[in-house]
Amino acid sequence: GDSCCNPQSMGYIKKIVENKIPGIYVLSLKIGSNLIQDMENSFFMNVNDQVREVCGQLAKDPHLKGGYNAMGFSQGGQFLRAVAQRCPSPPMLNLISVGGQHQGSVYGFPRCPGESSHICDWIRKTLDLGAYTQAVQEHLVQAEYWHDPLKEEDYRKNSIFLADINQERGINETYKKNLMALKKFVMVKFLNDTMVDPPISEWFGFYKSGQAKETIPLRETSLYTEDRLGLQEMDKAGKLVFLGVKGDHLHFSEEWFYSTILPFLQ
């Protein structure tokens, strides 16, 4: 529901990073030929196609050939993780996920901007009716990281994006090797998040399978204990950084951003 260059959001982030780190090169990714398309694609363009498009943009950018730091907000957090896993050239150095839903989200989806509220209501109804049908999976972004703990088998079998990058259908050793090449994987969780269900997904935790009340942290998930993605090894090497910030989804102060996030970009 956002766009690359909105002066209130992503355009603002680009500006403050450039102001605080003189000489830095910042690319704010645009998917589509204009800002309207970029916003619409955040709802309706197959995520696998979006990741492919971004990988192409990064590979063609001469400023990034020596490696780059990536920062994704909300669903952009897990989309950029897919870039890290699938496209190792140019190399991603640090990945900063701000409120990304790495185990997915259920019963709603992250904050939807006011002017898109009619789209949001329609999407919620569509997800409730059939998030794991082929038509919905292929044409609705939020369905591609919809993770229903009461329908784990449906999720594993039919999720065309999240189940793939989370190694739910087998181990892709290339995904694992590429993610483990990161220097740091920084995950920011909003401690009063009312948009992501469950909020612990922002730290790679999720509901215990088969119910939607009790959650377990990353280190108790089979993804970690079986080390299907290399997260256990990265954790032991000090590469995983778990940050908590008070506030609802994507609510943070400039001061917090400057003191906590900017050091990972320098």
Angle between helices 173-180 and 75-86 (to 10 degrees): 110
- Residue 116: active-site member: no
Write down the pLDDT at residue 16: 93
Residues 6+ apart with CB under 8 A from 87: 51, 54, 55, 58, 59, 178
The burial of 259, by beta-carbon neighbours within 10 Å (0-12 exposed, 13-18 middle, 19 or more buried), is given as exposed
- Residue 249: active-site member: yes
Write down the pLDDT at residue 113: 54
Specify whether the CB–CB gap between 193 and 202 falls below 8 A: yes
Name the active-site residue from 3, 42, 74, 105. Answer: 74
Write down the pLDDT at residue 149: 87
Helices (H), 103-239: 117-130, 134-139, 152-158, 162-165, 173-180, 222-225, 231-236
Considering only CA atoms, which of 108, 68, 114 is closest in space to residue 87? 68
User: What structural domains does the chain harbor?
Assistant: 31-58+79-197+220-232 (3.40.50.1820)
Global pTM value: 0.91
Beta-bridged to residue 240, according to DSSP, are 185
Give the number of other Cβ atoms within 10 Å of residue 197's Cβ.
19
Beta-bridged to residue 188, according to DSSP, are 98, 243
Write down the pLDDT at residue 116: 55
Give the C-alpha separation, 162 to 79, whole Å.
9
168: its two tokens:
């739910």
Write down the pLDDT at residue 109: 54
Name the active-site residue from 2, 97, 102, 249. Answer: 249
pLDDT profile of the chain (266 residues), mean per 10 = 81 94 94 87 89 96 96 95 97 97 74 59 73 87 87 92 96 98 98 89 92 92 96 98 94 94 93
* Helix H or strand E encompassing 12: helix 10-20
Report CA-CA distances (Å) from 164 to 49, 121, 160, 169, 261. Answer: 14, 27, 7, 7, 29
- Residue 164: active-site member: no
Name the active-site residue from 2, 38, 164, 193. Answer: 193
